[in-house]
Amino acid sequence: MVKSGGMLVKLGAVLLLWPASTFAQVVEGTVLNSVTGSPITGVKVELYWSGDPAYSSTTDEDGHFLFDHVEDGVYNAVYTSQGYEWDDIFRDPDVNRQIRVAAGTPVKVVAHMMPLGRLSGRVVDSRGQPVSKAEVEVIGPGMQMVFSPDNEGKFGAKRALFPGDYALSVSPMPGLKPPAPDPDTGARRAWAHTWYPGVTSAEAAAKIPILAGGEVTDVELKLVAVPAHALRGTLLNADGKPAPKVEITLAQDMGGVMKAESGADGAFEFPAVGDGAWCLLAELMKGSTRLLGCQCLELAGRDREGVKFQLDAPFTVHGKALVEPPRGQPAARARLVALRRANTPRNLGLPRIMPPPGYPDEDGDFTVGQIYSDRYTIDALPPAGYYLDAIRFGETELTGPEVDLTPGAPALTPVFRSDGGSVRGTVENCGSGGVVLVARDPSQRWLARNGLTARCSTGPTGSGRYEITAVRPGEYYALALHNDASSLFFIPHWDENLVGQAGSVTVRAGEVSSLDLRAAFQGTH
């Protein structure tokens, strides 16, 4: 990159933008471990200008970096190191990010990086033998990863993990040898989607705590065998006639996946399926049109016969985003409206679950194509400074985010308003945490499913300020989390057991409400 009047010079590990004029502005600093306070060696430090890296260096054994010839300007600093995350960005996005360089004025920076954690273990069957034909899923603060064990059943997170509490589960994959029949009854059994430490429901799962810089090893995930039953049915074309030789997938949400093919009469069979909620999916290309069939059902204690599901053609849903601006001002443009199948397992692939979103034009009109008859969840993202007030389906105002869509469905009308209130205040003992607002009325929470959150702007005392704007008027809980708030901001959640830890606030249209809080606990709950 070359700025006007300058030339690009590379000296060793430092990339310098050297202007034609003489200058000696110095930018130097130290990068420290936010937990231990010790310096971090080998951190890549970059100063960005106009979206491009203008200067680059690496910290030495004392965590020190130096740029000794920096042109005047405002730069964004970026710190990168394997196994660390830039901690100051969790405290305040502007802290140590923006660096102002002026002639003859040295700049000194102290940046902090948070050490990340590691998780590894082994997948085994009921006899303790290693399992490689499986998928391990790790879900925790701000992330979700799926990866496969090696031939010895060993797994390890492919990237470092933020501090927090993690759920761990394993799903059997096609080709895995089924478990032996029940030793007492001889009944067939199947491998179940299993959660740590060896349960078949997410509600009964135990969380694994990962500390900053910590490592949890030798976790054993043992697949659970459950009673199995047959599932038989027929796949039909859109005209109601049998659909032969079409691959059919049977899947659970982040659980097992099985394959079968329909016969000449459209019949199919899955001979050994565990109890629980499953979804059948089949697809077939007819010219340039993708036909898709999907049906969800429950297996409970017996074989399931006579299931019929049909391949259908896609259709389009129309809508209009209504954006109500402040008086005398033009309306902002709505961001997008996305539809996602409400019941379809995520492991069937994103294109089958979420069609391309609709982007409202200047008049608010939008369309969402590639829709198949099913139940969908609506995500309507408001413009900056607005909140989602309602969604209408035809003439009916929805009371939740889900709607059944079929060909000829009425228009969707999300309504965005700009008269929201604000909540601001201080948080004692905030650390790198923040605040989340949750509507006291559970029936209203779906309107802000992506969360109403803010990080603390933390000062040297550990306390800081926060502000949440464009809040739908109403009654809210306000909860402050200390330190690990990554789950708060990536995956907002609520547990009624947290009411005792939360404050309460009334948000009024166009007004600012003040509420000071204390972060009373640490980590995810």
291-323: pLDDT as tens digits: 999 888 988 889 999 999 999 999 999 999 999
Who's near 427: CB < 8 A, 6+ residues apart? 433, 434, 435, 456, 463, 464, 465, 466, 480, 516, 517, 518, 519
pLDDT confidence band for 129 (50 / 70 / 90): very high
218 and 181 within one domain? yes
Asked if residue 232 is part of any domain, the answer here is yes
Q: Check residue 460 and give left, alpha or beta (phi > 0: left; psi -120 to 50: alpha).
A: alpha
374 and 328 within one domain? yes
- Which is it for strands 247-251 and 276-286: parallel, antiparallel or unpaired? antiparallel
CA angle 89, 90, 94 (to 5 degrees): 40
74 and 47 within one domain? yes
Length reported for the chain: 525
Span of 11-20, 183-192, 305-314 with lowest mean pLDDT: 11-20
Look at residue 506 and tell me whether its pLDDT is greater than 90.
yes
133 and 107 within one domain? no
Q: What is the mean pLDDT of residues 495-500?
A: 70
Span of 325-339, 431-445, 458-472, 501-515 with lowest mean pLDDT: 458-472
Look at residue 453 and tell me whether its pLDDT is greater than 60.
yes
Which one of 223, 243, 258 terminates a domain?
A: 223
Share of the chain above pLDDT 70, in %: 83
109 and 11 within one domain? yes
Q: What is the mean pLDDT of residues 12-37?
A: 66
Q: 126 lies in which domain range?
A: 118-223
Strand, helix or coil for residue 216: strand
447 and 481 within one domain? yes
Q: What is the mean pLDDT of residues 334-347?
A: 83
8-28 exposure pattern, b = at least 16 Cβ within 10 A, e = fewer: eeeeeebbbbbbeeeeebbbb
- CA dist 163 and 145 (Å) reads 15
**Domain harbouring 153, CATH code:** 2.60.40.1120
Asked if residue 457 is part of any domain, the answer here is yes
Which one of 310, 344, 359 terminates a domain?
A: 310
106 and 18 within one domain? yes
Asked if residue 265 is part of any domain, the answer here is yes
- CA dist 100 and 452 (Å) reads 32
Look at residue 398 and tell me whether its pLDDT is greater than 50.
yes
- CA dist 70 and 24 (Å) reads 7
Span of 67-81, 219-233, 393-407, 473-487 with lowest mean pLDDT: 473-487
Asked if residue 523 is part of any domain, the answer here is no
* Higher local confidence (pLDDT), 347 or 487: 347
- CA dist 283 and 75 (Å) reads 51
Asked if residue 1 is part of any domain, the answer here is no
pLDDT confidence band for 283 (50 / 70 / 90): very high
pLDDT in the model for residue 366 = 97
pLDDT in the model for residue 23 = 52
pLDDT in the model for residue 97 = 63
Q: Check residue 487 and give left, alpha or beta (phi > 0: left; psi -120 to 50: alpha).
A: alpha
Asked if residue 484 is part of any domain, the answer here is yes
**Domain harbouring 275, CATH code:** 2.60.40.10
Q: Which residue has the tokens 């900056």?
A: 384
Asked if residue 45 is part of any domain, the answer here is yes
User: Distances from the Cα of 299 to the Cαs of 201, 205, 231, in angstroms?
Assistant: 15, 22, 8
430 and 513 within one domain? yes
Instruction: State residue 432 phi and psi, 5-degree precision.
Output: -100, 25
Domain tally, the chain = 5
pLDDT confidence band for 73 (50 / 70 / 90): confident
* Higher local confidence (pLDDT), 146 or 152: 152
Contact of 320 with 366, CB cutoff 8 Å? yes
Asked if residue 525 is part of any domain, the answer here is no
pLDDT in the model for residue 495 = 64
- Please give the mean pLDDT across all residues of the chain: 84
pLDDT confidence band for 452 (50 / 70 / 90): confident
215 and 122 within one domain? yes
User: Distances from the Cα of 358 to the Cαs of 123, 243, 338, in angstroms?
Assistant: 42, 32, 6
- CA dist 266 and 256 (Å) reads 23
- CA dist 322 and 331 (Å) reads 9
pTM, two decimals, is 0.68
157 and 104 within one domain? no
76 and 134 within one domain? no
Look at residue 64 and tell me whether its pLDDT is greater than 80.
yes
Q: Which residues in 421-460 belong to E strands, given as ranges? A: 421-428, 434-439, 452-455, 457-458
243-278: pLDDT as tens digits: 999 999 998 876 678 899 999 999 999 998 988 889
pLDDT in the model for residue 173 = 83
299 and 268 within one domain? yes
Strand, helix or coil for residue 500: helix
Contact of 473 with 518, CB cutoff 8 Å? no
Which one of 310, 330, 360 terminates a domain?
A: 310
